């Protein structure tokens, strides 16, 4: 599968373990599909859940990082001694300290910087770090470090980066690799054959992940073994990078990430903070806690890059697409990262003639990281607004135009069929739930305050796959432990995985304990990102539980002197459906009592060949626009999601509505602002960086779950949800604004200022 634009472009996935026997699809379910509260709801709500930022160890020191205040500078001199002279300060490291030269930002076969580098290429780049007895002493020590900078010229956006004579971020051109071009058919011929052509350029803003829990780690050395409590989406990814950075065997680095306060893609790798903390801990012989101030997370932990996208569409009179051309220019920040944003446009609609070009450039700002569907909301913003415009030119309903162009195959991936193709169903059922036809017919009128409706669709190009291993242990009383490596990044992973195990073992979810996200105790898992945790890990969990189930039934068959095929599990007991007299509680299994624990290991079977499996969605929005002031209120949103089987409708709705809210931020409020004169970010805090508040969230938000198990894909019939839940929202809102006002706002976010500017003379 082509993974362009997804989280896992960089490295090939490790080989899968030997796959377990394929399990047949569930014919009916008792636990899976139920609306169950989260298994850790009490801990999360009561505050007893221990997040990494809550970890306090005996003798622990606090640490902090001194960061470059300039977008581009060379560190001439660093004097740590004033900091070391302060009370309570136990260690300080700078660009010349041992370990500062650990290679960092590896890409394209080389390291692009060092842990503490004298050449700072963005505001917030790490210059020094200190450890002290209290956080206050850390703050004082950081202020006391004397640094002399040579301030250098900088580029802040994709236009400046590509201008002739632009200051280079790295030696050579500011391009991150060669532009990626994809082509099929003949676009020129397709455009020539078109009855209608639209072309428009769009721009999206740089967004920040802004997870609730700031980035950071607590580290402790025991001899030459390191334990890291990290707020991360992937403990094994962090383990590998920390072990490599410090030259340690993997087995000597234990990373624990039980709870974590959100990531959205910003916590898929080890941070410099973890390695700096480890160096400081080694230097002092004390555990060290290093969490970033909120401001620093805005500067140095990733972002969704801004993209400039031009879309050109051609269509026949009846709406059939004849040509699609899309180009994107995106800014990766100061180190290699992808700002690709065109992939979705090449497969969302059937079109024989397609050309897509992605160019990524360096700028002197924090490095882009995957952010909830990297590239896709940007693509939807441009493509889906252009489709809306095309529909307008054709005099077609925007929904009808999309239905006209639903693809039958994955056109960029060998024209393979989709194992389940939910686009049409998302469009139809979403429209029905929204009342699209009636709402669309209503005339916006000429009053100052006008209402309108808009929609947009998407897919997310990826659904996970091997490797994943899970372990289930059944105890002698019939309760069980599920052990898996995946992180629960707030999506309800622990809950749905416990439900899958409970389904297979026929015991209540309350009888299952989940052990997860600990490289010391759990089997390997890839990071929770890419909307792949459920479709990747839930089949492994099911397989592990099924392995236990098989052992239970075999032990029962021996004990009851019955053929194993006659036996099944129900409500914690071994039963024979045909003979009600047979009913043996699992706790009465002699074999289990003797053995103490039954262990089942399950692995993720490979994905089937010859098909493509991806989730789809369509979002519908109604807005109210004050055309005089440019204020936009989103009145309601319906999100139709095809993500295969729904394991738990409560967590499904949580994910979907959270995605919608994130999309509203993209559409209306969120934007990193860099000062043009100094190159510094002016809104690096939670007030000035405008996340939607509860009052920005519509009261009416509904989720339509298509809930069709994708049984050909994996043993739980699941596809991903987290990302397709946010991809089309912003475009739907922009289209609704156009419907209400006739004003096409091409640049996100649509603030009153941008609306008024776009409205120009059109208002009235």
305 is written with which tokens?
């890059």
Strand 110-114 vs strand 180-184: parallel, antiparallel, or unpaired? unpaired
- Nearest to another protein of 124, 600 (CB atom): 124
Name the residue among 144, 142, 146 with its Cα closest to residue 131: 142
Exactly one of 207, 325, 504, 723 is catalytic; which is it? 723
- Nearest to another protein of 110, 687 (CB atom): 687
Residue 723 annotated as catalytic: yes
- Nearest to another protein of 19, 135 (CB atom): 135
Name the residue among 121, 175, 128 with its Cα closest to residue 152: 121
- Nearest to another protein of 164, 760 (CB atom): 760
Tokens 């074999």, located at residue: 591
Q: Which residues contact 449 (CB under 8 A, 6 or more apart)?
A: 624, 625, 626, 627
Q: Minimal distance in Å, beta carbon 697 to another protein?
A: 9
For 68, the enclosing helix (H) or strand (E) is: none
Q: Minimal distance in Å, beta carbon 134 to another protein?
A: 10
| C-beta of residue 437 within 8 angstroms of C-beta of residue 725 | no
Instruction: Kindly state the DSSP code that residue 420 receives in the 8-state scheme.
Output: S
Q: Minimal distance in Å, beta carbon 166 to another protein?
A: 20
- Nearest to another protein of 12, 694 (CB atom): 694
175 is written with which tokens?
């391009």
Query: What are the start-end ranges of the H helices in 103-217?
Result: 135-144, 158-162, 187-193
End-to-end Cα, the chain, rounded Å: 51
Tell me which residues touch another protein (CB under 8 A).
69, 135-136, 139, 293, 448, 628-631, 633, 668-669, 673-678, 680, 682-685, 687-688, 690, 692-696, 751-753, 756-757
Bond prior to 228 in cis (omega within 30° of 0): no
- Report helix, strand or coil for 103: strand
Q: What distances in angstroms separate CA 694 from CA 333, 540, 633, one per listed residue?
A: 31, 38, 12
- Nearest to another protein of 293, 591 (CB atom): 293
| C-beta of residue 123 within 8 angstroms of C-beta of residue 299 | yes
410 is written with which tokens?
């994955």
| C-beta of residue 509 within 8 angstroms of C-beta of residue 502 | yes
Tokens 């169950």, located at residue: 36
| C-beta of residue 347 within 8 angstroms of C-beta of residue 408 | no
- Nearest to another protein of 459, 755 (CB atom): 755
- Nearest to another protein of 288, 546 (CB atom): 288
Q: What is the Cα–Cα distance from 764 to 761, expressed in whole angstroms?
A: 8
- Nearest to another protein of 180, 673 (CB atom): 673
Q: What is the Cα–Cα distance from 32 to 652, expressed in whole angstroms?
A: 12
Q: Minimal distance in Å, beta carbon 124 to another protein?
A: 11
20 is written with which tokens?
């377990």
| C-beta of residue 544 within 8 angstroms of C-beta of residue 602 | yes
- Nearest to another protein of 357, 633 (CB atom): 633
| C-beta of residue 549 within 8 angstroms of C-beta of residue 474 | no
Per this entry, what is the length of the chain? 764
| C-beta of residue 720 within 8 angstroms of C-beta of residue 464 | yes
| C-beta of residue 183 within 8 angstroms of C-beta of residue 190 | no
Return the ∠ at Cα 413 (arms to 410 and 415), rounded to 5°.
55
Q: Minimal distance in Å, beta carbon 123 to another protein?
A: 9
Q: What is the Cα–Cα distance from 312 to 321, expressed in whole angstroms?
A: 11
Name the residue among 441, 538, 440 with its Cα closest to residue 488: 538
Rg (CA), the chain: 27
Q: What is the Cα–Cα distance from 639 to 35, expressed in whole angstroms?
A: 18
| DSSP string for residues in 681-704 | BS--STTTS----GGGS-SEEEEE
- Nearest to another protein of 228, 733 (CB atom): 733
Active-site annotation, residues: 723
């Amino acid at each position: 599968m082509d993974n362009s634009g997804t989280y896992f472009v960089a490295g090939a996935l490790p080989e899968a373990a030997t796959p377990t026997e394929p399990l047949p699809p569930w014919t009916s379910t008792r636990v899976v599909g139920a609306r169950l509260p989260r298994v850790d709801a009490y801990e999360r709500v009561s505050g007893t859940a221990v997040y990494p930022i809550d970890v306090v160890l005996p003798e622990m020191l606090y640490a902090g990082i001194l960061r470059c205040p300039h977008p581009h500078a060379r560190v001439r001199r660093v004097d740590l001694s004033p900091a070391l002279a302060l009370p309570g300060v136990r260690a300080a490291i700078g660009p010349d300290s041992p370990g500062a030269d650990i290679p960092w930002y590896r890409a394209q076969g080389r390291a692009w910087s060092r842990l503490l580098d004298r050449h700072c290429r963005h505001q917030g780049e790490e210059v020094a770090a200190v450890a002290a007895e209290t956080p206050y002493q850390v703050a004082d020590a950081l202020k006391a470090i004397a640094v002399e900078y040579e301030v250098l010229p900088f580029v802040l956006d994709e236009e400046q980066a590509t201008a002739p004579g632009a200051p280079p971020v790295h030696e050579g051109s500011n391009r991150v690799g060669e532009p990626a071009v994809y082509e099929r058919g003949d676009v020129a011929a397709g455009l020539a054959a078109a009855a209608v052509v639209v072309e428009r350029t769009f721009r999206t803003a740089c967004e920040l992940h802004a997870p609730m829990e700031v980035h950071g780690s607590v580290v402790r050395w025991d001899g030459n073994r390191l334990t890291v409590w990290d707020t991360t989406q992937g403990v094994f990814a962090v383990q590998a990078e920390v072990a490599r950075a410090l030259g340690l065997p993997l087995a000597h680095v234990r990373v624990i990430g039980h709870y974590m306060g959100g990531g959205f893609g910003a916590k898929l790798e080890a941070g410099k903070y973890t390695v700096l903390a480890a160096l400081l801990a080694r230097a002092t012989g004390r555990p060290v806690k290093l969490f970033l101030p909120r401001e620093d997370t805005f500067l140095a932990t990733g972002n969704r890059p801004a993209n400039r996208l031009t879309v050109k569409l051609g269509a026949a009179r009846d709406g059939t697409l004849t040509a699609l051309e899309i180009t994107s220019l995106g800014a990766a920040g100061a180190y290699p990262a992808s700002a690709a944003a065109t992939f979705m446009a090449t497969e969302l609609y059937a079109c024989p003639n397609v050309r897509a070009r992605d160019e990524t450039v360096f700028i002197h700002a924090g490095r882009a990281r995957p952010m909830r569907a990297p590239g896709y909301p940007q693509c939807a913003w441009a493509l889906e607004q252009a489709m809306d415009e095309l529909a307008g030119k054709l005099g077609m309903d925007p929904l009808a135009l999309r239905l006209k162009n639903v693809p039958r195959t994955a056109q960029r991936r060998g024209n393979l069929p989709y194992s389940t193709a939910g686009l049409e169903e998302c469009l139809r059922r979403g429209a029905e739930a929204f009342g699209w036809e009636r709402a669309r017919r209503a005339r916006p009128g000429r009053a100052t305050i006008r209402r309108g409706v808009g929609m947009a669709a998407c897919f997310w190009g990826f659904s996970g796959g091997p490797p994943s291993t899970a372990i289930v242990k059944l105890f002698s009383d019939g309760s069980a432990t599920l052990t898996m490596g995946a992180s629960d990044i707030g999506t309800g992973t622990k809950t749905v995985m416990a439900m899958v195990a409970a389904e297979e073992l026929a015991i209540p979810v309350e009888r299952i304990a989940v052990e997860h996200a600990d490289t010391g105790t759990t089997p390997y898992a890839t990071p929770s990102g890419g909307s792949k945790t459920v479709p990747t890990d839930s089949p492994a969990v099911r397989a592990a539980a099924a392995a236990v189930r098989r052992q239970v039934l075999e032990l029962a068959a021996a004990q009851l002197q019955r053929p194993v095929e006659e036996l099944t599990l129900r409500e914690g007991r071994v039963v024979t459906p045909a003979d009600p007299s047979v009913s043996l509680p699992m706790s009465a299994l002699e074999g289990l009592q003797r053995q103490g624990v039954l262990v089942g290991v399950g692995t993720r079977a490979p994905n089937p060949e010859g098909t493509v499996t991806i989730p789809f969605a369509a979002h519908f929005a109604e807005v109210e626009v004050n055309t005089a002031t440019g204020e936009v209120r989103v009145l309601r949103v319906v999100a139709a999601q095809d993500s295969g089987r729904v394991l738990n409708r409560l967590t499904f709705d949580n994910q979907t509505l959270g995605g919608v809210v994130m999309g509203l931020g993209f559409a209306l409020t969120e934007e990193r602002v860099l000062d043009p004169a100094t190159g510094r970010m002016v809104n690096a805090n939670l007030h000035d960086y405008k996340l939607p508040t509860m009052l920005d969230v519509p009261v009416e938000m509904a989720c339509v779950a298509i809930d069709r198990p994708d049984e050909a894909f994996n043993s739980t019939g699941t596809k991903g949800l987290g990302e397709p839940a946010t991809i089309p929202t912003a475009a739907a809102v922009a289209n609704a604004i156009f419907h209400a006002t006739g004003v096409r706002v091409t640049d996100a976010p649509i603030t009153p200022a941008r609306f008024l500017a776009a409205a120009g003379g059109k208002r009235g």
